[in-house]
Copies of this chain bind each other. A is one copy, B any other.
Amino acid sequence: MDERVREHAETLVDWSARIEAGDDVVVSVGVDAHDLAVAVAEVLGERGANLVTTYDSGELTRAHLLAHGGAFETPEHELALYENADAVLRLSGGRNTSATADVPGATRAAHDEARKPVREAYMDTDWVGTLHPTRSFAQQAGMSYEAYRDFVYDAVLRDWESLAEEMGGLKAILDGGSEVRLVTGETDLTMSIEGRTAVNSAASVAYDSHNLPSGEVFTAPHATEGEVRFDVPMTLRGERVRDPWLRFEDGAVVAHGATENEGVLTDILDTDAGARRLGELGIGMNRGIDRATDTILFDEKMAETVHLAVGRAYDACLPAGEAGNDSAVHVDLITDTSEDSRLEVDEEVIQRNGTFRWEEGFEE
């Protein structure tokens, strides 16, 4: 086994999820994430944690959803599993990223809605999502398997403490700010961040960060106005969506489009009322991720990008006791800010053309 698989597992269990003896851990295993799962099981054993492994297969989900009549119920046994879990480690790793492409959006939405309590219980745990490099992901990234593995481990096996410190500066600016404006190309969007708390997403639950790799600072915007176009290409629900755009009025999407597979976007926005409002504004800060690979886990962390998610907001960004945007979905979309762009907080430019104001080369 590649020694980096073991290092990945250690980073996940220790730095990211902070697993301790006696913790009840669920490990979700993608069909081809077996090697990482074995390494994670070993590290969990060393830490004295308890283990339940679930099987994550797009083909299986597709078969179940397509055959089901559509009157989905909340699965009480799955709910009980997550309600009694301390942590969930999700190891993505399929064989075909389009495995569920032909499941109708309405079916997914009905299923998502019925599983909302399960999703909430899951998110109440110390959950962390990561990815095992598979040939399928390499293909989606347009890379050889060997090069893709290097890409993944370069992004995952980082000095997370150092990156956390670097990102703390941007968090401080956002926490003290009221309004964010993003301008680039056809995008001109204004969002309120008044009263919201930014998350220094340093790939650890200790930072309210639930992705490995991470390397972004995000918050939960509201009162969104204007238009935004997402030019980083990506696959949503198994379909390539090109250049999606959203127009906001009074915080909600009032118009949208895409040059390819617009219907996927429509299905997402039609899930529920919250799916038409933003749940997240994220600013990529991981300069170890040097290219878009059509995998949200990496793309949204890429330096010189900004992403927005329609749907559910993370509680960590909200004042205690206050509910943020609620939805059964949380779907991220990404804009390239490397050229012809500015990101402002309260009318002060904090990033121009991909360079932050505290970085060398920033033009005032």
A158 CB within 8 Å of chain B: no
| Chain B residues, Cβ within 8 Å of A68 | 45-46, 48
Structural contact, B55 and A42, CB atoms closer than 8 A:
no
For A34, A59, A63, A78, the residue with the greatest tally of chain B CB atoms inside 10 Å of its CB is A63
Choose from B42, B64, B73 the contact partner of A45 (Cβ within 8 Å).
Answer: B64
Digitize A28-68: 1 where CB-to-B-CB distance is under 8 Å, 0 elsewhere.
01010010011101111110101111111101110111111
Q: Is the CB of B24 within 8 A of A38?
A: no
Q: How many copies of this chain sit in the oligomeric assembly?
A: 2
Task: Indicate whether A144 reaches chain B with its CB closer than 8 angstroms.
Answer: no
Q: How far is the CA of A34 from the CA of B94 in the complex (A)?
A: 12
Residue from B34, B51, B65, B84 in contact with A76 in the complex, judged by beta carbons closer than 8 Å: B84
Q: Which of A53, A69, A85 has the most CB of B within 10 A?
A: A53
Please tell me if A318 contacts chain B, counting CB pairs below 8 Å.
Answer: no
Chain B residue with Cβ nearest A76: B84
A residues contacting B by CB (< 8 A) are 22, 24, 26, 29, 31, 34, 37-39, 41-46, 48, 50-57, 59-61, 63-69, 71-73, 75-86
Name the one of B46, B48, B73, B78 contacting A22, with C-beta atoms under 8 angstroms: B73
User: What's the minimum C-beta distance from A26 to chain B, rounded to whole angstroms?
Assistant: 6
Which residues of B sit under 8 angstroms from A65, Cβ to Cβ?
45
- The answer on a CB contact under 8 Å between A52 and B54 is yes
Q: Are A50 and B73 in contact (CB under 8 A)?
A: yes
> A67's contact among B42, B55, B72, by CB below 8 Å, is which?
B42
Chain B residues near A29 (CB-CB < 8 A): 55, 57, 60
Taking CB atoms, residues of chain B closer than 8 Å to A22 are 73
A207 to chain B, nearest CB (A): 24
Are B55 and A37 neighbours in the complex by a CB distance under 8 Å? yes
In the complex, are the beta carbons of B60 and A53 less than 8 A apart? yes
Q: How far is the CA of A101 from the CA of B189 in the complex (A)?
A: 61
Q: Which chain B residue has the least Cβ–Cβ distance from A81?
A: B81
What are 23 pairs between A and B in contact, CB < 8 Å?
Answer: A22-B73, A24-B75, A24-B78, A31-B34, A34-B60, A37-B60, A41-B60, A41-B63, A43-B67, A44-B67, A45-B64, A45-B65, A45-B66, A50-B72, A50-B76, A51-B75, A53-B54, A53-B56, A77-B81, A77-B82, A77-B84, A78-B81, A80-B84
